[in-house]
Amino acid sequence: MKTEVIKIDRHEQPEDKLKYAAQAIKAGKLVAFPTETVYGLGANALDEKAVEKIFEAKGRPSDNPLIVHIDSEKAVEYLVKDRPPCASILMERFWPGPLTLIMEKGDAIPEIITAGLDTVAVRMPAHPIALSLIRLSGLPIAAPSANTSGRPSPTAAKHVVEDLSGKVDIIIDGGSTAVGLESTVLDITVEPPVILRPGGVTPAELEQVLGYGVAIDPVLLQNAGMDVKPRSPGMKYRHYSPRAEVVIIEGVPERVAAKINEMLRQYEAKGIAAGVLATDQTRGLYPPGITVISMGDRDDPRSIAANLFEALRKFDDTRVRLILAEAVDNTGLGLAVMNRMSKAAGYNILTAD
């Protein structure tokens, strides 16, 4: 298959190009597009055959359900059966934005989207290109992150090209994504709601709006991640992996750097090329000649969220076979950052003491 890459300036919104892409969605084709979180791989959510192609292109296990993207709150009505009381306040405050709500599935949704579950994930993305694509196609768009299954999610069109060129019809290049991590997935079929995947909206932001505490799925709170049966099928798969192995080192930043330096010497002696995933504050603590890539500023968790996946992919272009990754603060947006990093490392985490 020949993949067409279409460059679109998010501020210009050229109708002809967007209509062309929307027409492709209507015709059952696959269109990768930018959202504020990561790039999505979109297809008509009501067309079973089109959705099947998403799973094929990504190599995605069929028991991992997809998020349905919409452009208006009204669209929720025919996608879900029951709208819990807290839905309105969450939609009003966080949509469009990086919050995915899990609700009871309506009959219009094909089984393939929900992988047979009786719930459906719905989100309204905060990106003008994504919203135009949904509006002009007049359809809900099913879209997982536009990476090959198991790889870091794409935050730029070039990442989508790397993974999916030749496997999808159109890739819309709308520049880098702002948030850089996927949406928060919140199950609101239960009370209190449960975070199934931490993401762009933090637990504190949710709690402030709801006026009460949200629960965090136990799978997210333990390192192994496997002992408890996952409620969100996506939780159980190896994820976000660059070509090199990843090991996380946690602890006080200076001690972490000391431990990493010690490990660098050991791996060098063994002839294993190791690199460091560091931060702006710590990147200078490693010797010259070592590949050191910064995720961003420790005092600005948003910069780290925005850069993490790109930083992981950058190691693919180096000779590094082992990435020694500094842990960052696990609170606020850091919860989502450390969730993705832990998965990239297959929960291989050491403590510096």
Q: Between 145 and 342, name the residue whose CB sits nearer to Mg ion.
A: 145
Query: Which of 132, 183, 282, 291 touches ligand TXA by CB under 6 A?
Result: 183
Instruction: Tell me the residue nearest to ligand TXA as measured from the CB.
Output: 234
Minimum CB distance to ligand TXA, residue 193 (Å): 12
Rounded distance, CA 101 to CA 91, Å?
9
Report in angstroms how near the CB of residue 218 gets to ligand TXA at its nearest: 15
Q: Measure the CA–CA gap between 107 and 129, rounded to whole angstroms.
A: 28
- Contact flag: residue 177 with ligand TXA (CB under 6 A): no
Nearer to ligand TXA, 152 or 301 (CB): 152
Quick check: 215 and 193 in contact, CB under 8 A? yes
CB 248 within 8 A of CB 265: no
Tell me: does residue 127 bind ligand TXA (CB under 6 A).
no
The answer to the question of residue 182 lying near ligand TXA (CB under 6 A) is: yes
Q: Are 169 and 1 in contact (CB under 8 A)?
A: yes
Q: Residue 343 has which token pair?
A: 């998965």
For position 35 contacting Mg ion by CB under 5 A, the verdict is no
Which range touches ligand TXA (CB under 6 A), out of 10-18, 58-66, 76-84, 267-275?
A: 58-66
Residues between 135 and 164 that touch Mg ion (CB under 5 A): 145
Closest among 167, 209, 201, 166 to 185, alpha carbons compared: 201
Considering only the stretches 3-11, 17-25, 81-89, 113-121, report the one whose residues sit in contact with ligand TXA under the rule CB under 6 A: 113-121
Considering beta carbons, is residue 298 or 340 the nearer one to Mg ion?
A: 340
User: Residue length, the chain?
Assistant: 353
Task: Between 110 and 251, name the residue whose CB sits nearer to ligand TXA.
Answer: 110
Tokens describing residue 285: 């603590």
Which of Mg ion, ligand TXA, none binds 37 (CB below 5-8 Å, type-dependent)?
Answer: ligand TXA
Beta bridge partners of 12: none
Query: 232 contacts which partner out of ligand TXA, Mg ion, none, CB within 5 to 8 A by kind?
Result: ligand TXA
Q: Could you give the 3-state DSSP secondary structure of residue 194? A: strand
When the beta carbons of 62 and 266 are compared against ligand TXA, the nearer one is 62
In this structure, what DSSP letter does residue 183 have?
A: P
Residue 231 CA: distances (Å) to CA of 65, 151, 226: 11, 22, 11
Nearest to 136, CA basis, from 5, 33, 2: 33
Tokens 């055959």: give the residue. Answer: 49
Residue 185 binding partner per list Mg ion, ligand TXA, none, with a CB distance cut-off of 5 to 8 Å that depends on partner kind = ligand TXA
Interface with ligand TXA by CB under 6 A: which range of 22-30, 72-80, 96-104, 307-315?
A: 96-104
Question: Token pair for residue 348?
Answer: 């291989």
Decide if 174 contacts 8 (C-beta within 8 A).
Answer: yes
Q: Assign 269 to helix, strand or coil.
A: helix
Q: For ligand TXA, which residue of 44, 100, 282, 342 counts as binding (CB under 6 A)?
A: 100
Residue 339 as a binder of Mg ion (CB under 5 A): the answer is no
Residue, CB closest to Mg ion: 145
Phi, psi of 274 (to 5 degrees): -110, 145
- Distance, in Å, from the CA atom of 147 to the CA atom of 213, rounded to the nearest integer, reads 33
Residues lying near ligand TXA in the complex (CB under 6 A): 35, 37-38, 40, 64-67, 98, 100, 102, 114, 117, 119-121, 123, 125, 143-145, 182-183, 185, 196-197, 232-234
Which positions touch Mg ion (CB under 5 A)? 145
